Amino acid sequence: MQGKVIAVTGGFGALGRAVVEAARAAGCEVAAIDFVAAPAADGGGVLRIGDVDLADPDAAERAMAGVVARFGRLDALVNVAGGFRWQTLEDGPFAGWGDLYRMNVLTAAAASKAALPHLASGGGAIVNVGANGAVKAAAGMGPYAASKAGVHRLTESLAEEWKGKVRVNAILPSILDTPANRADMPKADPSDWVSPAEAAAVILFLASDAASAVTGALLPVTGRV
């Protein structure tokens, strides 16, 4: 991975930060892109691009152009940007279905569309973040699971469309050990969960030349759950 240029959407969140840190440790040049404002300091040599609505194709294109302008190329895109909401169909707001589709599917689609011309110029990789909970949805997981299932199908479709040019894979985590999940599930045992660093390691493998023969994979990353 030494010298590779990687763009990470959702790069300011728990998993995004772990991917950025792991990529930097592996010798990559990294751009972190997020919906929220960028931190004031540009620490660690990371290009941080904030205030980007990644579900907007034009905004995503501007962000990717900024990455290429800074580093001269793009070798891999990691689509971490997304969101979660627990709600039942009966009691939850119907708008939540569209919100999660936008946060999870459209961000990955728009960022991938913006990155593909740059990735294809030298062969590259896209790694999406799906969800193990979208393989079989539990109660209250309908909108989230439906949107993450869309990420799975997007991954498979792009892998076929760009076979031989750009590899496209996804990880399917169970529960990530983040402060938000600990707060939401105070009685659970987080030692069974997947740490962001563990998930980031799998993401970097899929983005690396070591996974050159892998495309269209939906890789479960479920820890001990």
**DSSP code of 38?**
P
Closest CA to 82 of 101, 110, 61: 101
Separation of alpha carbons 105 and 68, rounded Å: 24
Range of the domain at 21: 5-221
One-letter amino acid at 85 equals R
Separation of alpha carbons 55 and 78, rounded Å: 15
**DSSP code of 174?**
S
* pLDDT score of 42: 58
* pLDDT score of 148: 98
Tally of structural domains, the chain: 1
Active site residue 144: yes
* pLDDT score of 121: 78
* pLDDT score of 102: 98
φ/ψ (deg, to 5) at 54: -70, -10
Taking only the tens place, the pLDDT of each residue in 83-126 is: 999 999 999 999 999 999 999 999 999 999 999 999 987 789 99
Number of neighbours of residue 110 by Cβ within 10 angstroms:
25
Q: What is the distance, to the nearest Å, from the Cα of residue 91 to the centroid of all Cα atoms in its chain?
A: 29
Q: What is the CATH number of the domain that holds 148?
A: 3.40.50.720
> What is the mean pLDDT of the segment spanning 193-211?
97
Taking only the tens place, the pLDDT of each residue in 8-45 is: 999 999 999 999 999 999 999 999 999 999 987 656 78
* pLDDT score of 65: 98
One-letter amino acid at 225 equals V
Terminal-residue alpha carbon distance, the chain: 30
Taking only the tens place, the pLDDT of each residue in 52-88 is: 999 999 999 999 999 999 999 999 999 999 999 999 9
At 198, is the pLDDT very low, low, confident or very high (cuts 50, 70, 90)?
A: very high
At 208, is the pLDDT very low, low, confident or very high (cuts 50, 70, 90)?
A: very high
pTM: 0.95
Separation of alpha carbons 184 and 174, rounded Å: 15
Which one of the listed residues 12, 35, 97, 144 is annotated catalytic?
144
Q: Which residue has the tokens 């627990």?
A: 86
In the chain, pLDDT over 90 holds for what percent of residues? Answer: 93
Separation of alpha carbons 205 and 200, rounded Å: 9
